[in-house]
Structure 1
Amino acid sequence: MYAVVTLQDTDEVMVVASNWLTTDKKQSYWPPFKAPEKFMDAVQNRLKPETGGKTWEKLNISFHTEYVSFDKAKEEQKVMKEQKEWSNKGFGILKRQRLENAVGVLKNQFQQFPPVPPASTSRMDDKKELLQMLGDIKSTVQENSAMLKKLLKDNTVSEAPSSTSVLSKDIKTNLNLPLKTFDDLDRIERQLNTAASRKKYVKYLSMLGGFGPRDIIKNIMQKVLADDLAKEFNWQGRGDKRPFSQLILTDVIRDAAFRRNVIRVDCENEIKKYLSYRADRLRKKPREQGGIGPVVPNVIAGTTVDDDEEMDDEEIWKLLAD
């Protein structure tokens, strides 16, 4: 049996072996393995929660459900993670609605103030009454301004960073991207075995910006993989390529794209196109740079392009999309 749980310290949804749970299902034993492969093997093989005769440490959890199949448990984990993301987005929308309502109330309050009588009326002769009125207005404006500032501050704290947010200098300098070798990839896969590292990468990649699924995924993939490494992958690992779909990094890219409102199927389709496009461009480079072999027209989606005529990224992506 396999259980789907949430780690209380990190709020991360995980799959664990049912025999790791305590009797009351409020805690789970946790393996000390750093490599993601060892962690996944431990879960799938439902290892006894001890290493070298020493019992693993226990973490506080919230238990959700159990499955006989490991694959079923992983599917439930995906669903719960996506539901949690949508729930967080819904909370942000509610906060914006509350802010808009509050601004509307403030506008109505200002409109209810009686206009200051013109200088030609008799009320202007009563300086004491006029000063009292101005003092009341000033006091009300100050109170409403303080209320509005508080609402704006609360809204800013609760909302996820927008595409115009300034990227954290510490995050950018610690991630060591793009990945250029398989050793770099192995390093990042080990790092992503922890919930804290995954959150850090998801946050950074989701802040790269873009308009629409294609642009968002292109920005993320260019930041994550150098071209020479990208050409070694395709989605399923067919031929002599490695399977990109099986990396923990791929889950991180999905989560980052989801924060930009790119659903799972669109994210995967754009990754497939990106990997295919990069491999194709690198195959053309020797001919473009060295003039090796005859000039043979390239035909993409019914359009003929000579090798010595370079197309920009937007044109290639459009042709591939068609």
Structure 2
Amino acid sequence: MYAIVTLQDSDEVMVVASNWLSLDKKQCCWPPFKSPDKCMEAVQNRIKAETGGKPWEKLNISFHRECVTFEKAKEGQKEIKEQKERSYLLATGFSGILKRQRLESTQGMSNNQLQPLPAVTPASTYRMSADDKDELLQMLRDIKSTVQENSAMLKKLLKDNTVSEAPSSTSVPSKDIKANLKLPLRTFEDVARTERELNTATTRKKYVKYLSGLGGFGPKDVIKNIMQQVITDDLAKEFNWQGRGDKRPFSHLILTDVIRDAAFKRSVNRVECETEIKKYLSYTADRLGRKRPREQGGPGHEIPIVISTSLMDNQPEMETSRNFFDE
């Protein structure tokens, strides 16, 4: 016996061996073969639903009917496909759209004729010709094929992707992992300790895995998420990219290489990564200027004047920040 089913994930009508169905006929074992010919052979021979003693994956299905022979099942598959396609045409009104396109084409070819074109019949009452039907069915098959390919590709990407895609506003790192890595860094002693730890490949991999899992959309968001977890603003203000002035060079740290590797796993290349780190470090004083008045003065404290004065009095800091992007 053979069964005609619709795979719920792809909405594809298929013929399968009846012995592959679950008792309630809501699931079906599916062969792991990549070759369509091998899958077809497995269906025709109704082989046992396992490979090397390992059961096949079960897929959710909608059961239609069973047939005694494979040929009858293929005929039933074709009928059900055409029924679904006709239902889709009626639901979307594609027949009326195609008729309208043909009338417009006729109008363009008949510029010398002055008589008006006949009114377009509404989709709900228009009776399709054989040519219309064939053309629309082919269009739907092409669309369906594309959707199925995209679905398969998306499923593979989701299966292969082990990194969280949560945006920065909802990205919540594991507290256990964070505590184990002793982040964020708060003192120069913390930096020196971390640099020693990162000399081992195992520890470096742990940092890369943790930092790449912080999420973010685009280079700015990714680097912001990483830097916020890596270093406090109080310590970050002691660094700039090249170590100019009285600052320490962030680019010389092993930790910076780790950040590059983590960012690369989020599709952020080296140039984008370094640019965003420079920006993040250069804006540290501004972040502290906004944060500290709120902490000291409470909700009713007026902060705009304090920020403006501190920035005007700190011209060397601003000048250094601007120089980062000339390096």
Q: Which has the larger radius of gyration?
A: 2
Q: What TM-score, normalized by structure 1, do the two folds share?
A: 0.45
Q: What TM-score, normalized by structure 2, do the two folds share?
A: 0.45
